[in-house]
Amino acid sequence: MENRDLTYAVLGTGALGGYYGGMLARGGRRVCFQVRTGFEEVKKQGLMVESCDGDFALPNAEIYAATGDMPKADVVLVCLKTTANHLLPEMLKPILKEDSLVILVQNGLLFEEELSADLPGVPIAGASAFICSFKVAPGHIKHCDFGHISFALLNKSEAACALLEKVKDDFIECGVEASVEADLPALRWRKLVWNIPYNGMTVVMETSTDKLMQDPESRKLIKDLMLETQQGAAACGVTIESEFIEKMLVYTDSMVPYAPSMKLDYDAKRPMEIKGIYSNPLKAALQKGVELKKIRMLEQQLYFKQSEYLK
Amino acid sequence: MENRDLTYAVLGTGALGGYYGGMLARGGRRVCFQVRTGFEEVKKQGLMVESCDGDFALPNAEIYAATGDMPKADVVLVCLKTTANHLLPEMLKPILKEDSLVILVQNGLLFEEELSADLPGVPIAGASAFICSFKVAPGHIKHCDFGHISFALLNKSEAACALLEKVKDDFIECGVEASVEADLPALRWRKLVWNIPYNGMTVVMETSTDKLMQDPESRKLIKDLMLETQQGAAACGVTIESEFIEKMLVYTDSMVPYAPSMKLDYDAKRPMEIKGIYSNPLKAALQKGVELKKIRMLEQQLYFKQSEYLK
């Protein structure tokens, strides 16, 4: 395995799949992109990444409409919204071979566990992306800031560890900051410290991150939600230091006014990723006997908001 | 005292003051109305009450711009928004005589206690109105449904008890269902069971009571907020039966879609009664060691909402 190049499949060629897959393809890796919306157009024109680190085009990117048409892959980067995750087992089957590694480049807790229950024995990892990017149009990605990606395995086998190291090296060689972390729950919960307060609150309050930070009462509530996330993590055996919470607050203060992905979904009347960011963490904490009341209230408010446009 | 008619002063001639004061005046009691907005017009035209129980006009109602112009009163019905309560001690001084009874016909907890601290020795009662009414225009009140008013004294002296009984009899004789309750905190907390969930949630979710009841998640949250109110009441020595909570849910189901007073204030960009309905109950419960997390979160969200239009 170490002596040959990996074939990557990217499911979902949006803000994440378009950027990371694009970087790998630009660096010479073989990347097969699955494009749902605007397939014909993207197949004709290829990919365009407008990046703060330099724009690039991939006119000859390998574009597919469905996984049934794609070659088998060594590594699958799942960059779909988690609201489509119930389709994953069927989507993955045509492109998996023995020891293919599936990496969920997604937000939220327990999706790796859920997928593993559906595909027993398949090596699965999670990835957490610290990036500001979005899809301008089909096949056209704009990358504004950051880009670091962290990986962690759900179940560590020697082969999977070696393969994930090679993936990380590929990312780095192709110009993306990347790292492998030891603990998947820690990777997921740390990201939730930011995602839980800001995703939900920008939707429910119909506002942006900067406004939430300016008013002392909403700022306090943001911090309360982070502290409940810390409690939930602790219940699941993950330690989040208080300094990390302070760092997230200061980091958000320094950000340009920003609409998190859930706010973009809400504004576009798309399903929101409530399950992974709220319901699953609440479930995981409750299984350990810990009730996270403010996070639960935010979840309830989000389901109400979603019910207003999604019948 | 028993053998002569009482003189009433009504501070704030809106949905409540206009209706209850109007009913007393129609029934032949002397009622002096203080009118802030549209004083000249109301003084010229008098009051008009459009009621589901029959319309009536009071062309010769006694209208005043300020308490400094008013005669002293035996009974003062304070029907102002509680956001103006810091002005009450100064407003009341010109119209109080020895043993005048001040009745706060308002929503929210601890205002009687706060006023008593500013006006030591003055008999004070609270009143809770179960009514649907609103001000159409200055001096023009529309009464749509219900009307019962309950009174309770802050501190019981023999004289104050007798006076409050006479007030209740006056209301009944003038066609208003009225009762005297033994326990002011119980009167206040029971009203909060409805006010805490529906006032705040219609504002924060920008919706109406019926929509909140239809979605299962927001309906659950409404009930959670009622259960926290029950906990807060219990901490303060007030028992609220679980059947009462079920009754409030069923009662709201049967209501026509309704915008609570806080939602009307929010839509009109007026200050909201956050202090009496949220901050004071939270303070009272916290003093007994009980933290009401979802109610606290709603308070934080309301302050954020208010900060968007009130600088």
Tens-place pLDDT, residues A75-88: 999 999 999 999 99
- Host domain of residue A170: 7-182
Which of A147, A162, A182 corresponds to the end of one domain? Answer: A182
Q: How confident is the model at residue A1 (pLDDT cuts 50, 70, 90)?
A: very low
**Which tokens hold the place of A54?**
């330099």
Predicted confidence at residue A256, as pLDDT, reads 79
Predicted confidence at residue A150, as pLDDT, reads 98
Distance CA B147, CA B105 (A): 13
To the nearest whole angstrom, how far is the Cα of A304 from the nearest Cα of chain B? Answer: 6
What residues contact B57, with CB distance under 8 A and at least 6 apart?
B46, B47, B48, B49
Is residue B132 one of the residues assigned to a domain? yes
Once rounded to an integer, what is the mean pLDDT over residues A215-229?
98
Strands B47-51 and B56-58: antiparallel
Q: Which run of H or of E encompasses A167?
A: helix A158-173
Q: Is A219 on the interface with B (CB under 8 A)?
A: no
Which of A182, A198, A217 corresponds to the end of one domain? Answer: A182
Predicted confidence at residue B132, as pLDDT, reads 87
Residues B193 and B160 in one domain: no
**Which tokens hold the place of A224?**
């309360």
What residues contact B59, with CB distance under 8 A and at least 6 apart?
B45, B46
Q: Is A256 on the interface with B (CB under 8 A)?
A: no
As for how many domains chain B has, the answer is 2
Is residue B238 one of the residues assigned to a domain? yes
Q: How confident is the model at residue A259 (pLDDT cuts 50, 70, 90)?
A: confident
Give chain B positions within 8 Å (CB) of A274.
none
Is residue B1 one of the residues assigned to a domain? no
Is residue B279 one of the residues assigned to a domain? yes
Q: Indicate the residue type of A47.
A: L
Which of A153, A182, A211 corresponds to the end of one domain? Answer: A182
Q: Is B211 on the interface with A (CB under 8 A)?
A: yes
How many alpha carbons fall within 13 Å on the CB side of residue A296?
18
- How far, CA to CA in Å, does B45 sit from each of A193, B60, B143, B210, B241? 61, 8, 19, 37, 47
In A, minimum Cα distance to B292 occurs at A293
Q: Which run of H or of E encompasses A101?
A: strand A96-105
Once rounded to an integer, what is the mean pLDDT over residues A191-202?
97
Q: Which run of H or of E encompasses A293?
A: helix A293-307
- C-alpha angle with apex A237: A232 to A240, nearest 5 degrees? 65
The ipTM estimated for the assembled molecules is: 0.91
Predicted confidence at residue A306, as pLDDT, reads 98
Q: Indicate the residue type of A59.
A: P
Question: Quick check: B205 and A297 CB within 8 A?
Answer: no
Q: Which run of H or of E encompasses A280?
A: helix A280-287
Distance CA B10, CA B22 (A): 10
To the nearest whole angstrom, how far is the Cα of A276 from the nearest Cα of chain B? Answer: 17
Question: Quick check: A217 and B293 CB within 8 A?
Answer: no
Structural contact between residues B18 and B139, judged by C-beta atoms closer than 8 angstroms: yes
Residues B141 and B40 in one domain: yes
Structural contact between residues A30 and A97, judged by C-beta atoms closer than 8 angstroms: no
Low-confidence ranges of chain B (pLDDT < 50): 1-3
CATH number of the domain where residue A94 is located: 3.40.50.720
With 50 as the cut, is the pLDDT of residue A147 above it? Answer: yes
Q: Is A176 helix (H, G, I), strand (E, B) or coil?
A: coil
Residues B228 and B85 in one domain: no
Q: How confident is the model at residue A257 (pLDDT cuts 50, 70, 90)?
A: confident
Is residue B160 one of the residues assigned to a domain? yes
Q: Is B311 a catalytic site residue? A: no
Residues A277 and A293 in one domain: yes
Is residue B2 one of the residues assigned to a domain? no
CATH number of the domain where residue B300 is located: 1.10.1040.10
Residues A30 and A164 in one domain: yes
Quick: pLDDT tens for A43-53.
999 999 999 99
Residues B154 and B220 in one domain: no
Query: HEC string of chain B?
Result: CCCCCCEEEEECCCCCHHHHHHHHHHCCCEEEEECCCCHHHHHHHCEEEEECCCCEEECCCEEECCHHHCCCEEEEEECCCHHHHHHHHHHHHHHEEEEEEEEEECCCCCHHHHHHHHCCCCCEEEEEEEEEEEEEECCEEEEEEEEEEEEEECCCCHHHHHHHHHHHHHHHHCCCCEEECCCHHHHHHHHHHHHHHHHHHHHHCCCCHHHHHHCHHHHHHHHHHHHHHHHHHHHCCCCCCHHHHHHHHHHHHHCCCCCCHHHHHHHCCCCCCHHHHHHHHHHHHHHCCCCCHHHHHHHHHHHHHHHCCCC
Predicted confidence at residue A188, as pLDDT, reads 98
To the nearest whole angstrom, how far is the Cα of B293 from the nearest Cα of chain A? Answer: 7
pTM comes to: 0.93
Question: Quick check: B215 and A294 CB within 8 A?
Answer: no
Is residue A56 one of the residues assigned to a domain? yes
What mean pLDDT is reported for chain A?
96
Predicted confidence at residue A258, as pLDDT, reads 74
Distance CA A109, CA A276 (A): 5
Quick: pLDDT tens for A21-61.
999 999 999 999 999 999 999 999 999 999 999 999 999 99
Residues B41 and B78 in one domain: yes
Predicted confidence at residue A177, as pLDDT, reads 98
Residues B135 and B220 in one domain: no
Distance CA B291, CA A299 (A): 20
What residues contact B243, with CB distance under 8 A and at least 6 apart?
none
Residues B128 and B175 in one domain: yes
Residues A98 and A230 in one domain: no
Quick: pLDDT tens for A149-161.
999 999 999 999 9
Residues B252 and B284 in one domain: yes
Q: Pick from B204, B211, B304: which is nearest to A217 by CB? A: B304
Residues B160 and B217 in one domain: no
Is residue A142 one of the residues assigned to a domain? yes
B residues 221..250 contacting A (CB < 8 A)? 221, 224
